[in-house]
Amino acid sequence: METPERGRGTVFAWIAALLAGLALRAVPVAAARPYIHYVDEGHVLRPVYSMIRDRTWDPREFVYPQFPRLVIAAASRFIDGAVRLAGGPSLRDRIPARLDGYDQLEPFAFLLIARGLSVMVGMTIVVLTGLFARRLFGPAAGAAAALLAAFVPALALRGSIASVDSWATLACLACLYATDETRTSRQPAVAAFAAGYFAGVAFASKYPALLVSVALAVTTLLLPISTREKIRRLFAGAIGAIVGILTAMPALWRHAAELPHVFRSHWETYAHDVFERSLWRQVLGRAESDLYYPGPELGVVLCVLAFAGLVIAARRRPLAATVAGWCAFAAAMCALFARGEFRPFRNLMPLVPVACVGAGIAFARLREWSRRPRIVDALGGLALLVLFGAPMAAHAKRRLDLVDPRSAAIDWLAAKARTADSTLYLRELAILEGEVARVPGRTVRVSAAEAPARIRAEAPRFVVAGVLMRPDRSLDAAAGWPELSDYRPVLTAGDQPTVPFQFWWHGNEQIVIVFERRSPA
């Protein structure tokens, strides 16, 4: 039985988990405004913008499944309607008629809505992780697991990003929770149906996440129940998965024939791309490169505690089948994503809440063994702050302060340009139309190939250019153009050349240079 003192400590830990988790996810939510700040945000949101603009619920593109896009589109339409009812301008009407580049996502309000939903999903993961551990091993395990889920970089870093990974993680966690419910529920077939349903939602969030159904199958087969009951539960789970897929991804009715092509495309990408080679390096050394976080996704301490917690839980007979299901799910995910040359850790994100639950169980057992649990609590809290709290707070602050070089250039021009001036922009920089509109005067948007002739013919006061990378990876620096010999650079931001393809993410560090004409035209 939990003592009043321990109960107060548990409540305090839960409050700390909720406040810290929310802060780490909400603070960087406007990073790089108004541009995307993670490589997958464009893949997720470009179809959403088209859905909102064209008044449809069909994304017409299935590189990623439909469910997260469906929720984002629904929330965006609701908020847009509320804004119009309040007398504000229509956000939908500000979406460009054509999305010509990967970075061309405006207005920023819709991107902010998508990130805000990710914050909500991330916090739900924190709460459900803690409740899961509490269900399995008591209040101390639940509080510890919630704190870990709030702070662990693998979850917190992606909590402010518009991606499908948090959605798939939440659906997988709900499936695992419902699977464990089949052990004790008075209506186990209903719990099995729910587990299957969430597995279907996981598929509709990120296709490989359907592997969470392996946990349901293994746990069911290992439970001490009759063969007939096992078949009944597995059948209920299968029906639930079908219902979950069809309700969370209704466009599948019309686009099922496209999925084999999508799966083949994913398979080829992961077989040949070489941006992330080592999963272990991301787990224990440095996180996925597109996150710009210098620490690990999990770290050695959390991995050791998670493994110890799984062993402890497996030695309890009632929990053995549940833990076996987790291990089977983890093995299936690792077998799928350890192949090929491209191994970003985000694909294994659904396993992170399980690791937090395991670590919470290990921590609770340490408290049980210790004669002075307060010391264990203090050391655990200190370790959490040193390993995750301080680095993650610093990272959140850096993301909060992140200014895209394109925004820096537009801010400078908006303050310096006059109505009589003209400004030439390179189209390759992918500066948003809404941003260009903030600058007084006449606007000229041309490609790098067209720019020299336009500069000679029109002699604009300002030229916004940079350093372009050609497809052969050679560089074309605008500072070396003869046409700019009469111009001086007045602002330089960023340190990376601009990518050579229109539908690649430009990042938030591309070199942007503002040139000003020295003499009158």
* pLDDT tens-digit series, residues 345-375: 999 999 999 999 999 999 999 998 888 888 9
pLDDT reported for residue 325: 96
Strand bridging mode 512-517 / 475-477: unpaired
Mark which of 345, 375, 400 sits at the end of a domain: 400
In a shared domain, residues 137 and 21: yes
Sign for the pseudo-dihedral over CA of 9, 11, 14, 19: negative
Confidence of residue 327 (pLDDT cuts 50, 70, 90): very high
Please name the residues in contact with 184: beta carbons below 8 A apart, sequence gap of 6 or more: none
In a shared domain, residues 247 and 301: yes
Share of the chain above pLDDT 70, in %: 95
Confidence of residue 271 (pLDDT cuts 50, 70, 90): low
In a shared domain, residues 413 and 382: no
Answer yes or no: is pLDDT of 4 > 70: no
In a shared domain, residues 429 and 349: no
In a domain, 69, yes or no: no
Tokens standing for residue 293: 């976080």
Contact, 312 vs 304, CB < 8 A? Answer: no
* pLDDT mean over 127-139: 96
Answer yes or no: is pLDDT of 192 > 60: yes
In a shared domain, residues 300 and 394: yes
* pLDDT mean over 210-215: 96
Q: What's the whole-number average pLDDT of the chain?
A: 91
Written as one string, the DSSP assignment of 192-237 is HHHHHHHHHHHHHHSGGGGGGHHHHHHHHHHSSS-HHHHHHHHHHH
In a shared domain, residues 481 and 360: no
In a shared domain, residues 395 and 513: no
Cis peptide before 107 (omega within 30 of 0): yes
In a shared domain, residues 244 and 351: yes
Q: What are phi and psi of 515, to 5 degrees?
A: -105, 140
In a shared domain, residues 272 and 250: yes
In a shared domain, residues 277 and 345: yes
In a domain, 14, yes or no: yes
Range of lowest pLDDT (57-66, 201-210, 220-229): 57-66
In a domain, 428, yes or no: yes
Count of residues in the chain: 521
In the three-class reduction of DSSP (H, G, I as helix; E, B as strand; rest coil), residue 493 is classed as strand
* pLDDT mean over 22-38: 94
In a shared domain, residues 371 and 425: no
* CB atoms inside a 10 Å sphere around CB 202: 32
Confidence of residue 277 (pLDDT cuts 50, 70, 90): low
In a domain, 168, yes or no: yes
In the three-class reduction of DSSP (H, G, I as helix; E, B as strand; rest coil), residue 518 is classed as coil
pLDDT reported for residue 258: 77
CA distances 244 to 67, 113, 195, Å, are 10, 25, 10
In a domain, 389, yes or no: yes
* CB atoms inside a 10 Å sphere around CB 150: 34
In a domain, 163, yes or no: yes
In a domain, 58, yes or no: no
Answer yes or no: is pLDDT of 5 > 60: no
Mark which of 350, 373, 400 sits at the end of a domain: 400
Range of lowest pLDDT (55-64, 212-221, 303-312): 55-64
Contact, 298 vs 152, CB < 8 A? Answer: yes
* pLDDT mean over 243-257: 87
**Cα-only R_g, the chain:** 26
Cis peptide before 34 (omega within 30 of 0): yes
Tokens standing for residue 378: 């203090």
In a domain, 243, yes or no: yes
d(CA 324, CA 115): 34
Strand bridging mode 462-469 / 512-517: antiparallel
Buried b (16+ CB within 10 A) or exposed e, 64-100: bbbbbbbbbbebbbebbeeeeeeeeeebbebbbeebe
Answer yes or no: is pLDDT of 340 > 70: no
Mark which of 361, 377, 400 sits at the end of a domain: 400
d(CA 466, CA 400): 25
Residues 437-486 have pLDDT tens digits of 999 999 999 999 999 999 999 999 999 999 999 888 889 899 889 999 99
Domain of 27 in residue numbering reads as 4-40+112-400
Domain count, the chain: 2
In a shared domain, residues 383 and 445: no
d(CA 362, CA 357): 9
pLDDT reported for residue 73: 95
Answer yes or no: is pLDDT of 2 > 60: no
Range of lowest pLDDT (109-123, 204-218, 253-267, 507-521): 253-267
